[in-house]
């Protein structure tokens, strides 16, 4: 059970209900993770805006996004983020063998080179807090300067979300509820 209660729209002060509405409008509904985060509505509005950018606006290919999200979630033991993003990863063409390799922390070994590159970039950042020149240059060649920035921000966002939800003990949703 989460350490904080989940809030519905009516639980928020009238001046903060627009935040709930904005989140629901951009995502189709307010997911359980945001319902807990709404215990601080203004911080959640900022987090949701950044998440909205990396999810819906950043022009990275969906497969690249999902590889980085899953690698970030797994590396940070972000069970909620991992579980919530599995359907999108599959829809983006991430196959079950790749998902299993990431789940078992075997990736990037055994992945297609273009997938391995994104996972390697993510893991280098999260494990060594820097990226080797070779990995950086390969990703920069593939995604361009703006794409590198988008990828770094995506990794940071999902890392932060993973840690926040773990600290608050927000449990992963059932896949059928997504």
The pTM score is 0.94
DSSP symbol at 39: T
Q: Going from the N-terminus, what domains does the chain have, and what CATH number goes with each?
A: 9-57 (no CATH), 62-167 (1.20.1290.10)
Largest CA distance in the chain: 52
- Assess contact for 52 and 20: CB atoms under 8 A: no
pLDDT per residue as tens, the chain (178 positions):
789 999 999 999 999 999 999 999 999 999 999 999 999 999 999 999 999 999 999 999 999 999 999 999 999 999 999 999 999 999 999 999 999 999 999 999 999 999 999 999 999 999 999 999 999 999 999 999 999 999 999 999 999 999 999 999 999 877 544 4
Cis peptide before 49 (omega within 30 of 0): no
53-71 burial, b for 16+ CB within 10 Å, e for fewer? Answer: ebbeebebeebbbbbbbbb
């Amino acid at each position: 059970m989460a350490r904080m209660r989940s809030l519905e729209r009516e639980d928020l002060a009238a001046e903060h209900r627009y935040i709930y509405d904005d989140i629901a409008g951009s995502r189709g509904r307010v997911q359980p993770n945001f319902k807990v985060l709404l215990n601080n509505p203004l911080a959640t509005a900022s987090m949701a805006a950044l998440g909205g950018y990396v999810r819906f606006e950043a022009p990275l290919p969906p497969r690249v996004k999902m590889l980085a999200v899953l690698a970030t979630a797994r590396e940070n033991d972000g069970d909620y983020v991992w579980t919530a993003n599995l359907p999108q990863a599959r829809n983006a063409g991430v196959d079950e063998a790749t998902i299993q390799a990431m789940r078992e922390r075997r990736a990037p070994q055994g992945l297609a080179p273009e997938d391995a590159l994104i996972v390697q970039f993510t893991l280098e950042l999260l494990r060594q807090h820097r990226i080797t020149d070779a990995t950086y240059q390969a990703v920069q060649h593939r995604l361009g300067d703006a794409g590198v920035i988008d990828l770094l921000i995506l990794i940071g966002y999902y890392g932060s979300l993973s840690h926040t939800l773990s600290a608050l003990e927000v449990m992963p949703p059932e896949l059928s509820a997504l």
